[in-house]
Amino acid sequence: MSTQGYDSTGRHDSTRRYDDELRSEQRYVAGLYARLDAERARVKGRHGAALKGAASQDKDGTLVDRDAEVRALAAEMRRLDVADSGLCFGRLDAVAGHPSYIGRIGIFDEDDEYEPLLLDWRAPAARAFYTATAASPEGMHRRRQFRTRGRGVVGFTDEEFGRPDWHARGDEALLAAVNAPRGDGMRDIVATIQAEQDRIIRLEHPGVLVIEGGPGTGKTVVALHRVAYLLYTQREQMERNGVLVVGPNPAFLNHIGHVLPSLGESNVVFTTTGDLVPGLRVTAEDAPGVAERKGSREILGVLAAAIADRQRLPEHPVLLDLADVTVRIDAETAQWAREEARASGLPHNEARTVFAEIVTYVLTERAIGRIGRGWLSRSDKQAWEQLRADLVTELAENDAFTAALDELWPVLTPQALLAQLYSSPERLRAAGADAALGRTDGDAWTVSDVPLLDELVDLLGRDTAAEKAAALAATRERRAEAAYAAGVLDLMVGRADHMDDDDHLFATDLLYAEDLADRFAQRDDRELSERAAADRDWTYRHVVVDEAQELSEMDWRVLMRRCPSRSFTVVGDLAQRRSPAGARSWDAVFEPYVPGRWVYRSLTVNYRTPAEIMTVAAALLAEFAPGVRPPESVRACGVAPWSRAVDESDLAAAVDEFVVDEAGREGTSVVIGPPGVPGAVPPSETKGLEFDAVLVVEPERILADGPRGAAELYVALTRATQRLGVLHREPLPRSLTGLTQTGMAAGLGR
């Protein structure tokens, strides 16, 4: 027997070589973790010192500077903490040159001219790790992907470009990731980004990017990695204003909420369209037809008419008794004032000042004419103006005059205007609105009301009188704080002779009382994401919109106001649209806002849904969207989707059987069904989510809801990554007849 190719222990040369290289990689990655730990300890020390006010090397630095340093160091600590999980996930070997290790963050050798020991996955030099192929190796000859457990490297796979190799298994890492049991939230794909995904993540486009893909194509996670990439390449601009991520429901946001923090990014606000107006609570749901009307741009005319309806003329003259004369506001005067106020172009509440000024002018002119008859001439300008000033003051303090203004041109809030509109058939008719918009409880807000309320913020404008009063109160408080600070400053300067040098530097730094007042003032120490979420007027540098096909025309107006630069990553699938107010084409959505500045990219590979399940879903898709091509699944799971007919008395027990069986398995599961099915969630609440096992209950009832129902059933069928079962009471829809009819236990793959 020949022993060629084996060592003295009987190991094959290739096995020995693999073991040697594995030990080498383990030592290298251990060294990276040692550097990570040292850097973490250094930053933690600086952060602790900064909290005590001693981190700044500049003794003349302001408190604001020190606050900024504390925030920056805290962000760096978070970045280093998340890097601990899967710090290094691979190596890229160039045809010429040293190998490059790829990981979550960059680590450099400070002793060797900052040579990179670990490349951040977003760095340009790391791109070939995701895009190199045998056909286009991009100057590389090998890609090595690590398998890790905790901080240790337990194995690796190599893909060598240009020639076959005994352990060339380039898809192994990807298949291991997509086959792994699901956890509580979406995982990042930083170690297994595919070439078509990488091209989208790194796309240099300043406007709107639309990413469309069917179920399981990874469009959501690609969008989130694109945000991480933009935060890396445009850090200063992006961090100043932050990023807004809009999703379909809170469960979805919770599902994806771990991805960006796992990549070291925290200046991100996650929200739904129903939460875009801070402080508003959505408690009701509109019928589809009503939601469609509210979502159309045509509702803008209704809002404008509703405001105009509140700008009234008096039916009878309003008499005002002043000290020396009685004046009246008649319809002619109010008509002139209304025309001038509307012509000003100001929002309603701000235009009230114009309305009041015109009415005041007319009333004072008339009053002066009566009071001064026989003794006051216009040539006596000083007396004339003094009398006018007295009358203006008297009118401003006259309760009847204020009440008249409130009746003819009231200060309005978005909530009050819309609630009164909905609850009044007369006001709906006056605004030219469909009577279907009416409801008894006017302020029972729905998701469709949110963009209308946001629009009204701009149409109505601010209550300038209230803002002036608040500003005056703030000024008075500021003066009181400055006076107190001046007293403190006097005491501190008086003690300067008894201070050491450092204390004296601090005392002389307090040059003015108002500077000291600033230091005692309460500062907003919230994170950017908290401040942005609470501020309706905050504008973001970039906005991500998921399930974008569901947004109405009015929803898009809100989001465009939130991002004046029009920098968007939009994720959706028109075939899955369920909202009657949603998008029917991307061109119709974006051409009005960014003509010629939006680009479209599609994802075609299904990484989530196995081929067995996608075949079933594709049959349904062919019926309700015959022109849409389903994504191609990258894998099979070996378990056929099944269906089981049950009667009403057996339904609950069948659902329980599924739940009990899945409780004993690793991973996640869900029951999806129409309203009334115990323990089931509606398909709309599972959009964007994924589960190892899915049980769809009564698909015939879901499908009965017309085109919307077909889209919802398509969503339900494509949530599973491993196992799909269907329970039905009525005959299966024609598109699902390909399911294997079976009993429960057999259907679950046992």
Distance CA 480, CA 191 (A): 58
For residue 512, give the amino acid letter: Y
List C-alpha distances in Å: 481 to 67, 303, 508, 521. Answer: 21, 44, 19, 8
Strand ranges in 381-466 using DSSP code E only, listed in sequence order = none
- What phi and psi, each to the nearest 5 degrees, are found at residue 65? -60, -40
Q: Are 319 and 326 in contact (CB under 8 A)?
A: yes
Distance CA 742, CA 641 (A): 10
Quick check: helix, strand or coil at residue 608?
A: coil
Paired tokens of 47: 């952060």
List C-alpha distances in Å: 741 to 688, 727, 745. Answer: 28, 10, 12
Helices (H), 263-311: 288-295, 299-309
Distance CA 245, CA 260 (A): 11
Q: Are 604 and 216 in contact (CB under 8 A)?
A: no
Q: Are 167 and 18 in contact (CB under 8 A)?
A: yes
- How many CB atoms sit inside 10 A of residue 422's CB? 22
Residue 451 marked as a ligand binder: no
Helices (H), 114-189: 128-131, 172-179
Strand ranges in 607-651 using DSSP code E only, listed in sequence order = 632-633, 642-645
The angle subtended at Cα 280 by Cα 275 and Cα 285, nearest 5°, is 75
Q: Are 276 and 452 in contact (CB under 8 A)?
A: no
Residue 183 marked as a ligand binder: no
Report which of 170, 177, 173, 181 is spatially closest to residue 137, judged by C-alpha positions.
170
Paired tokens of 68: 């900024």
Quick check: helix, strand or coil at residue 459?
A: helix
Residue 295 marked as a ligand binder: no
Terminal alpha carbon distance of the chain:
45
Q: Are 683 and 715 in contact (CB under 8 A)?
A: yes
Residue 10 marked as a ligand binder: no
* Strand ranges across the sheet with 740-741: 669-672, 691-697, 720-728, 642-645, 740-741
All residues at 6 or more sequence positions from 374 whose CB lies less than 8 Å from its CB, including other chains: none
Residue 668 marked as a ligand binder: no
Residue 220 marked as a ligand binder: yes
Quick check: helix, strand or coil at residue 33?
A: helix
Quick check: helix, strand or coil at residue 244?
A: strand
Quick check: helix, strand or coil at residue 642?
A: strand
DSSP 731: P
Paired tokens of 178: 């997509």
CA Rg value for the chain: 34
Distance CA 436, CA 448 (A): 14
List C-alpha distances in Å: 543 to 154, 214, 224, 562. Answer: 39, 21, 11, 8
Mark the binding-site residues for ATP, compressed into ranges: 213-220
Residue ranges at the known binding site: 213-220
